[in-house]
Amino acid sequence: MHGLIGSMSAAPGRRDDLIAILTAAVSNMPGCLSYIVAKDTKDANTIWITEIWDSQASHDASLSLAAVKKAIAAATPMIAGFGDQVVTTPVGGYGLPAAKPR
Amino acid sequence: MHGLIGSMSAAPGRRDDLIAILTAAVSNMPGCLSYIVAKDTKDANTIWITEIWDSQASHDASLSLAAVKKAIAAATPMIAGFGDQVVTTPVGGYGLPAAKPR
């Protein structure tokens, strides 16, 4: 499995709009097991995104999906910056989603 | 919802042992929607834990569960340190688990 943990900073006042675009775009990405959007509780502009994919190739391929490209274009003007992104290998725990049928 | 994103550093050579303890202990915590353990891909000792709870109260209460207290006692000697922990409010996306019946 391939995991990503990262943050982005919304332009002031645009966090909810940015979240709406992100959450609407991610429901049908092949190989995506989980894509969770969360608000930072300390910073009013920061969003955290945690992702689990069956492989890095599936993640990379998602960037070419029409719905994702459209979402990126819509979201870009609302993004003030990105934090560091961590690449992980999820290995277990509770609530790890099963792979989606392809 | 209540989310946590954090890292810990295992004592050298103990990451797999630490992961085994963590993943075994977290399957039956009331109010826990997700507790995913992942290996950092760049640092051989680092573990990332991403958690989603129905409330902060459920998370806090989990620390008093016998299985969790036992796991903490077993894990502590294998932990070299902790990274910063981020507190979030998960709001949506794909693969967000449903609340577990209580």
The 10s digit of each residue's pLDDT in A36-54 is 999 999 999 999 999 999 9
pTM of the prediction? 0.93
CATH number of the A2-88 domain: 3.30.70.100
**B64 in helix, strand or coil?**
coil
Given CB atoms, is B6 within the 8 Å cutoff of chain A? Answer: no
For residue A52, the chain B residue with the least C-alpha distance is: B95
- Selecting from B22, B88, B97 the residue whose C-beta is nearest the C-beta of A95 gives B97
What are the chain B neighbours of A92 within 8 Å (beta carbons)?
19, 23, 36-37
- Model confidence at A99, pLDDT cuts 50, 70, 90, reads low
Q: Do A92 and B5 touch (CB under 8 A)?
A: no
Given CB atoms, is B86 within the 8 Å cutoff of chain A? Answer: yes
The 10s digit of each residue's pLDDT in B16-73 is 999 999 999 888 899 999 999 999 999 999 999 999 999 999 999 999 999 999 999 9
